[in-house]
Amino acid sequence: MTTGTMLIDGVPVSFEYGQTIMEAAMAAKIFIPHLCHHPEFTPQGSCKLCTVKASGRYVSACTMSAKDGMEVENNTPDLNDKRRTLLQMLFVEGNHFCPSCEKSGNCMLQALAYELEMLSPRFEQFFPNRPVDASHPDFLLDFNRCILCELCVRASRDVDGKNVFALAGRGIHKHLIVNARSGQLADTDFSLQDRAAHVCPVGVILEKRKGFAVPIGQRQYDETPIGQQMDELAARSAKAEE
Amino acid sequence: MDDFKHCAYLDPILTRFENRSDYLVQILREAQDCFGYLHQDAIDYLATKLNLPRARVEGAASFYSFLHLQPPGRYRVLFSDNITDRMLGNQALMERFCRNLWVEPGKPAEDGLVSVDFTSCTGMCDQGPALLVNGHVLTRMSVERVDRISELIRGKVALTDWPHEYFVVADNIRRRDVLLGGDWQAGEPIRAALARGADGVLAEMKLSNLRGRGGAGFTTAVKWESARLAPCQGERAERYIVCNADEGEPGTFKDRVLLNSYADLLFDGMTVAGFAVGATKGLVYLRGEYRYLLPKLLANLERRRIDGLLGTTVCGQVGFDFDIEIHLGAGAYVCGEETALIESLEGKRGVPRVRPPFPVTRGYLGQPTVVNNVETLCKAATIALNGGAWFAGLGTKQSTGTKLISVSGDVEVPGIYEYPFGVSVDRVLNDCGAGNAQAVQISGASGVCLAVHEFGRRIAFEDVPTAGAFMVFGAHRDMFEVARNFSHFFAHESCGFCTPCRVGTALVAKLMDKVASGSGSQYDINEIVSLQRVMQAASHCGLGQAACNPVMDTLQKFRPAYERHLRALDFEPSFDLDESLATSRQLTGRDDSGAHFGQ
Ligand SMILES: Cc1cc2nc3c(=O)[nH]c(=O)nc-3n(C[C@H](O)[C@H](O)[C@H](O)COP(=O)(O)O)c2cc1C
Ligand code: SF4
Ligand code: SF4
Ligand code: FES
């Protein structure tokens, strides 16, 4: 196994050839903000929260291979400022009412907003019309909160072999659909055992009758900021998130 | 499920495409041609037959502007909405048309007869305003024509019985240089290439220093050589030559002319590339707007097969097999981006891939693939024939050869002008009769906007690079409106894959509308500038990275055009900062300059 070394914010980080900047950073317990990345799945590079500067160029840490001698800027005011804007974009694109969301405290979008000190949504809200799908006996889909990270798409396709989820539309009208003519989750073969049932980083795919099992205030990101949970983030593949 | 009547037209299509799911976009397009739109039953049937998840079929269909999952009108009328169409009055014409037929844009008429909407630049800027009716292009719209068309639709007259002259697309070639003025027999460049051998062709290509004409300006010989050296993968191991004929950049229409009148040169160029790279198959990705060219192009390919210029043993060269097929796009500018184009060729949503790997190592179906612009391939054919030194002797040192320029806007003679690289903007303006230009948008919406003091600059990779568009704006034009039109273009065409472009282009278009409505302030302009920084830095592909170029350029060079629309030049706070410090000054007994704001 060949290895190399790069610098992330001046700190030497060693990596194995073929690893991405994100993978190497995670292994070294360096936090690079991310939403669409998940250690268990093929990187896709769409949320752009992981944007870093590598040898002077902006790149996505989750898809860019680490190279020997690479100098990576990560935790800088410029990058965090851009990431904050990206978060604000995601907040206004959907309908996010954190106080009434079952995922509050366990939500990566919300946790990153705290981590990156996002104080307001800043831009005019889009208020898209995205009806909730409550057809399935065990699951509720609240599309209002979908950030289009495609983790459910990848999990269902690559792990479950089911292709329950897919994307439709283009541009700002892009949205998640399920694999049924009716458009209803109940008419798919989605089940509690699916990996896709447990990967959503925000509050779209929610198990029914399990609401507020852990009180708000004591949830994953309530107690410790996401930026200090490197072990948990790296171990996400080992356990099914709740 | 009533798949009865749907299988009747779907089965022959599926058979023709061998039930291959990688032809999904082509299959959907043809299915729609038969039935008018993509019925739910048709989606189910295709999903089953192609062994694809239904949601993937639906997801692909919903990506393309020209594919419909809901019944549009029996006459689908789309008004081309490039800024050049606007300058020629397309908005008033559309309003008139809607009034004639009692229909609202975006909503099919209640009787299902007609639907009307705008569409992105159709590549007819030299003969606009243009329309697409059921996918067929109509040029030079006028009040008379729009009224006549309204009658034809009301009378349910078949499109084939409409006046022929409405469908005429002129080449409008205004200046010929070595490419447009050349006179070659079909197949001549191939024979010349065979005589030189594959290594010889590559050597001439290197010598020519030909750079891509599609926008990025990558050295063609390097691309060809990389693909030639890259190993093929798996079962269907072969290399591909892809011709990018998507020509979606607003204001660009030179590939349209090459495809119409120089198709042999293009196919020769593709075959030469195939020979040099070791590819056996060529694919042309023709934008949906140019489907009127399809019958002619297919007939040409057929003739070439008969003449031995395509197929097995091309031009008698044993061991050299090469054929070409044409895929039609379905209304998505982003599919001009080479990896999105490949995704579309594979029957998927046109979303740009993560690079690396680049297409030269893993492109179409995972195989080494060369993607070249139409003009690049035509030039390659002339290089195979005349040699690299000949080509390198034209233009400038860094930008060899000639360039086709698509001139439109406020000029007397719009059309195609071929110049050696290095020509000045002034010269082009003179030649096309641009009287009082205040600005030229070069290389389309994602290019640069030049103001009068920059007209001495030269068209070349080292100065003002271009994919070919040259849109001229007279002194009476509102440059803010130009930028606003482009901001809507990008919002409409964003594929939606990455956050900065998906949301950013929509936000910028909204902010530009706010300014246009007279309720914007400097604060909104600052927001656009801040969004631009994020979009340029973090977007996944060139579309999002360049989407704010027109706004930034015009902001910088035509500031008054913006200020006319602004309610307040600066953000006006509702309280006075200095005044709010008065109490503190009093308490501390200070009144020096450090105790005041802005002094
Ligand atoms: C959003 C976007 C749209 C593009 N559209 C086109 C196009 O319509 N035609 C084209 O030839 N190249 C287009 N390109 C450039 C292609 O990605 C690619 O660089 C080109 O086809 C390569 O051919 P060349 O080297 O011969 O120029 C586009 C690029 C981007 C980012
Ligand atoms: S439902 Fe959740 S996992 Fe799926 S794309 Fe939306 S945010 Fe991502
Ligand atoms: S920049 Fe725009 S067009 Fe390109 S991948 Fe991102 S969303 Fe799609
Ligand atoms: S985490 Fe890298 S783009 Fe989403």
Question: Is A35 near ligand 4, meaning CB less than 6 Å away?
Answer: yes
Residue ranges of chain A that CATH labels 3.10.20.740: 3-75
Q: Residue B74: which pLDDT band, with cuts at 50, 70 and 90?
A: very high
Q: Tell whether A57 is within 8 A of chain B (Cβ).
A: no
Q: What single-letter amino acid sits at B202?
A: L
Q: Measured between alpha carbons, how far is A44 from B567 in angstroms, rounded to an integer?
A: 42
Average confidence (pLDDT) over B488-509: 98
pLDDT given for residue B571 in this prediction: 57
> B503, A89: Cβ pair inside 8 Å?
yes
Could you tell me if B245 and B362 lie in one domain? yes
Q: Given this structure, which CATH class describes domain A3-75?
A: alpha beta
Q: Is residue B69 one of the residues assigned to a domain?
A: no
Residue B70 within any structural domain of the chain: no
Are B292 and B246 members of one domain? yes
In a domain, B193, yes or no: yes
A206 interfacial to chain B (CB closer than 8 Å)? no
In the predicted model, is pLDDT for residue B252 greater than 70?
yes
Q: Which residue has the tokens 């191991």?
A: B237
Residue B316 lies in a domain: yes
**B220-229 and B188-208 helices, crossing angle to 10°:** 110
Domain count, chain B: 5
Residue A53: closest CA among chain B residues belongs to which residue? B537
Phi, psi of B168 (to 5 degrees): -75, 125
B44 assigned to some structural domain: yes
Domain with CATH 3.30.70.20 in chain A: 81-212
Q: Which ligand is nearest to the CA of B499?
A: 3
**Over the stretch B448-479, which tens digit does the pLDDT of each residue have?**
999 999 999 999 999 999 999 999 999 999 99
Does residue A32 sit at the B interface (CB-CB below 8 Å)? Answer: no
Find the closest chain B residue to A168 by CA distance: B59
Domain region containing B18: 2-63
At residue A238, the pLDDT reads: 52
Please state, as a whole number, how many other Cβ atoms lie within 10 Å of the Cβ of residue B402. 26
**Is residue B539 in some structural domain?**
yes
* B355 Cβ under 8 Å from any chain A Cβ: no
Given this model, what pLDDT does residue B569 score?
65
B444: domain CATH number? 3.10.20.600
B289 & B406 share domain? no
Model confidence pLDDT, tens digit, residues B110-163? 999 999 999 999 999 999 999 999 999 999 999 999 999 999 999 999 999 999
Model ipTM? 0.97
> What is the band of B577 on the pLDDT scale with cuts at 50, 70, 90?
low
Distance set, CA A73 to CA A68, A228, B25 (Å):
15, 19, 41
CB A206 within 8 A of CB A140: yes
Q: Is B314 found in the same domain as B184? A: yes
Say whether both B182 and B330 belong to one domain. yes
CA-wise closest residue to A18 among A4, A32, A37: A4
Rounded Cα–Cα distance for residues B532 and B516 (Å): 19
For residue B365, what pLDDT is reported? 96
Which one is predicted more confidently, A155 or B581? Answer: A155
Please report the pLDDT score of residue A241 as a whole number. Answer: 47
The answer to whether residues B89 and B46 belong to one domain is: no
The beta-carbon neighbor of B59 closest among A171, A177, A180 is A177
What single string gives the DSSP state of each residue in A171-204? GGG-EEEESSTT--GGGS---TT-GGGG--SSSS
User: Residue range B28-52: average pLDDT?
Assistant: 97
Q: How do residues B411-457 score in pLDDT, each as one tens digit?
A: 999 999 999 999 999 999 999 999 899 999 999 999 999 999 999 99
pLDDT (0 to 100) of residue B599: 43
State the pLDDT at residue B584: 75
Residue B68 included in any domain:
no
3 state DSSP class of B163: coil
Q: What is the pLDDT of residues A196-214, one digit of tens each?
A: 999 999 999 999 998 778 8
Q: Please write the tens of the pLDDT for every residue from B344-380.
A: 999 999 999 999 999 999 999 999 999 999 999 999 9
What's the pLDDT score for residue A46? Answer: 98
Instruction: Nearest chain B residue to A79 by CA: give it.
Output: B534
Q: Which of the following CATH numbers is that of domain A81-212: 3.30.70.20, 3.40.50.11540, 3.30.70.980, 3.60.21.10?
A: 3.30.70.20
For residues A165 and A153, is the Cβ–Cβ distance under 8 A?
yes
Provide the pLDDT confidence category of residue B66 given band limits of 50, 70 and 90.
very high
Amino acid in the structure at residue A217: G
CATH of the domain at B161: 3.40.30.10
The per-residue pLDDT for B586 is 75
Report, as an integer, the average pLDDT of B576-593: 75
Q: What CATH number is associated with residue B501?
A: 1.20.1440.230
Distances (CA, A) of A47 to A150, A242, B372, B539, B549: 10, 22, 30, 9, 22
pLDDT confidence band for B585 (50 / 70 / 90): confident
Q: Are residues B328 and B242 in the same domain?
A: yes
* pLDDT for residue B572: 47
Task: Tell if the CB–CB gap between A181 and B40 is shorter than 8 Å.
Answer: yes
Helix (H) or strand (E) holding B405: strand B402-409
Please list, in sequence order, all residues whose beta carbon lies within 8 angstroms of the beta carbon of residue B541, skipping any fewer than 6 positions away. B334, B337, B339, B340, B352, B498, B501
Asked whether the beta carbons of residue A82 and residue B495 sit closer than 8 angstroms, the reply is no
Q: Of B392, B411, B428, which residue is a domain's last? A: B392
Tell me the pLDDT of chain B averaged across its residues: 95
Q: Which atom of ligand 1 is nearest to the CA of B220?
A: 25
CA of B311 to the centre of ligand 3 (A): 37
CATH of the domain at B268: 3.40.50.11540
Residues B51 and B91 in one domain: no
pLDDT at B574: 46
B422 and B463 part of one domain:
yes
Same domain, B201 and B305: yes
Contact B566, B520 (CB under 8 A): yes
Mean pLDDT by 10 residues, chain A (242 residues): 91 96 96 97 97 97 97 98 98 95 95 96 95 97 98 97 98 98 98 96 94 87 92 73 46
Rounded average pLDDT over B188-200: 98
Provide CB contacts within 8 A for B380, sequence distance 6+: B205, B210, B220, B269, B272, B273, B372
Domain assignment present for residue B546? The answer is yes
Mode of pairing for the β-strands spanning B75-80 and B131-133: antiparallel
Ligand nearest to the CA of A52: 4
Query: Residue A59's beta-bridge partner residues?
Result: A52
User: Of B475, B508, B526, which residue sits at a domain end?
Assistant: B475
* B439/B564 same-domain check: no
Q: What is the pTM of this model?
A: 0.94
Query: Quick check: B587 pLDDT over 80?
Result: no
